[in-house]
Structure 1
């Protein structure tokens, strides 16, 4: 069932969003909206980090059901990211680069150019950690979490652990176990906003470093505060459309990696319960289901003027459904 749901999400997003870059043969990226605006038709605003998660979903699908055609699409997609980014892999945002690095690493590509950027972003100011973006004075979970995961997966456990320890000491709420957004280094002001995104990347960091007590604590906090009715809460369109899907990805890994017990069961049920709500709330659209930005509410009959038109929202749902598929089969992944 969950594998079929993931396959349907793939067909829908491929049909509605994947298009050539500037009309060039052999290229493909995801249009940022559907129906597309004129600038989205030519990938003018192309949302670099959304594409990284779309690439991750294509890789997930290839693990779930390998095909030569999809493998070719993945190769074209990777080269198209570099083309659209004017011949380079990097940009101004360290979180963006970490996400692309994670996806590229799964394809077997060399990610040293991205790792070099992330290493250069670490400073002792604010107790450690890396910046959110270049020429900025903000350090946050969205950059440090995926950077830690990438460092761990590429063998730099020492740096990954430094980032984990900074997150644990600086941005984990001791009262709830939830992970805050970030720290303005110069003023010392903590941004204590709660995003599902932050819980997901901190959980992923814990899993990579086998910090199982911290992982279990995070699952408990998510279940208590981020999933009313057992469904991961939505955080709108735009970048927020990806947040719950990112959390679902790492909850699925937690369900498979933390010791059997209440937290592993809770992680599994959060993913499967959210997947069911997401699927049941979808509406039929060209190519397949159109998913809601909030999985606890139905998708709109027309996405025009609704966050559901955003690629981020649809990829977030696809992330969730691929995560659910790994929990209902023998498929595993290095997500």
Structure 2
């Protein structure tokens, strides 16, 4: 089976098990945050803004892989439905969330002609307002907080670069590079508590991915190669990207895979080859250990372990994030085929 066929199966699985109308409103669709869904998930009472942003981004991936008028319409409905479920707003209190939706919308506008300029303008304005000189610069993780981190600054930098604001994108890169990169390993730490000066040195695959994406947008080739090397050494036992649980963590390795695939396509030399192998090996493991479920594969939170076709209550494989993370990985692998 080709990588594109695997990605198509993943898309069909998500659309079959998770996609439903919002509150019964015609011409709306969002992904339920769990499967099998509990009562709150069935009516989209429980949802997560940034998970939905990544579903939208994966739909753009799928449209590039296999263009169709049906999916183009679905992308437009999906974007409108995010705003509807967010009570008529494109923005929220979390700068990382807004940056992710901005990235998905920008790609949809640029690559599949979705008209969403007002949404992008609103999100970009919020991200610009999140910058302060506290701790040398950077944007906050969320409003009225004292934490600045890679998960907010990375996607914001990528978005600013793609929208043409290279000055702010480079400022965000420089802040992360000077404050959050471990000089010994080259890995990117989580963030900095501005009020206490404490560095939060948790290592998440997510942080490596968004920093790598920033490097690629700004042609910071040495920093990109350093990050890929660090990921291969510390975040990919046996050559497969390390899992980071369910919940939000279910998306972390998929995000890293997205930017590793981009690195494999944009860079030259050994770093590109390492990035490519990390994506392809992870995709083989993820797909090979998936279970057969309604509509297509059910992915496990750990790509090197077998998944269940019917995850029991409490199993993180029920989380939308875990399934989208697998889909994102397989779409990334399909770009390298």
Superposition TM-score tier, normalisation by shorter sequence = over 0.9
| Residue 115 of structure 1: aligned partner | 124
Cα deviations by residue, 1:44-84 (Å, 9 ceiling, x for unpaired): 11100000000000000000000111111111101101111
Q: Which of residues 295, 304, 317 is equivalent to 1:308? A: 317
Moved more, 105-114 or 12-21: 105-114
Equivalent residue, structure 1, for 2:94 = 93
Q: 2:206 aligns with which of 179, 197, 203?
A: 197
Equivalent in the alignment of 1:153: 162
Secondary structure of the equivalent of 1:181? strand
* TM-score w.r.t. length of structure 1: 0.97
Q: Using the alignment, how far apart are the partners of 1:160 and 1:175 within structure 2?
A: 25
Structure 1 distance, partners of 2:73, 2:229, is 40
The residue correspondences of 1:136-151 to structure 2 (distance < 5 A) are 136-151=145-160
Q: CA deviation at 1:317?
A: 0.4
> What residue number does 1:72 align with?
73
Q: Secondary structure, in 3 states, of the residue corresponding to 1:107?
A: helix
What is the deviation of 1:194?
0.1
**Partner residue of 1:297?**
305
Instruction: Give CA-to-partner distance per residue, 1:85-131, whole Å, 9 cap, x none.
Output: 11110000000000000011112221010000000000000110000
Per the normalisation by structure 2, the TM-score is 0.96
> Which residue of 2 is the match for residue 218 of structure 1?
227
- Please give the secondary structure, in 1, of the residue aligned with 2:245: coil
Partner of 1:263: 271
* 1:272-323 deviation per Cα after TM superposition (whole angstroms, max 9, x unaligned): 0000000000000111100010101111242122111100000000000000
Structure 1 runs (4+) deviating above 3 angstroms are: none
Aligned to 2:36: 35
**Counterpart check, 1:62 vs 2:63:** yes
Q: CA deviation at 1:200?
A: 0.1
The one-character-per-residue Cα deviations of 1:23-58 (angstroms, maximum 9, x if unpaired) are 111000000000001000010111000000000000
Of 290-299 and 202-211, deviating more is 290-299
Match of 1:332 in 2: none
Inter-partner Cα distance in structure 1 for 2:286 and 2:78: 27
Say whether the 8 Å CA contact 1:95–1:143 is kept in structure 2. yes
- In the alignment, structure 1 residue 327 sits paired with structure 2 residue 336: yes
After TM superposition, the structure 1 stretch with the greater mean CA deviation from structure 2, 104-113 or 213-222, is: 104-113
> Is the CA contact 1:271–1:324 (under 8 Å) kept in the aligned structure 2?
yes
Q: Is the 8 A contact 1:206 1:212 kept in 2?
A: yes
Aligned mates of 1:201, 1:298 — CA distance in 2:
28
Question: C-alpha offsets along residues 6-38 of structure 1, whole Å, 9 cap, x if unaligned?
Answer: 000000000000000001110000000000010
Instruction: Please list the CA deviations of residues 194-250 of structure 1 after superposition, one character each: whole Å capped at 9, or x if unmatched.
Output: 000000000000000000000000000000000000000110000000000000000
CA distance in 2, matches of 1:113, 1:303: 39
Q: Give the 3-state SS of the residue equivalent to 2:284 in structure 1.
A: helix
Cα-Cα RMSD? 0.6
Structure 2 portions without partners, runs of 5+: 110-115
Q: Report the Cα distance in structure 1 between the residues aligned to 2:147 and 2:291, rounded to whole angstroms.
A: 40
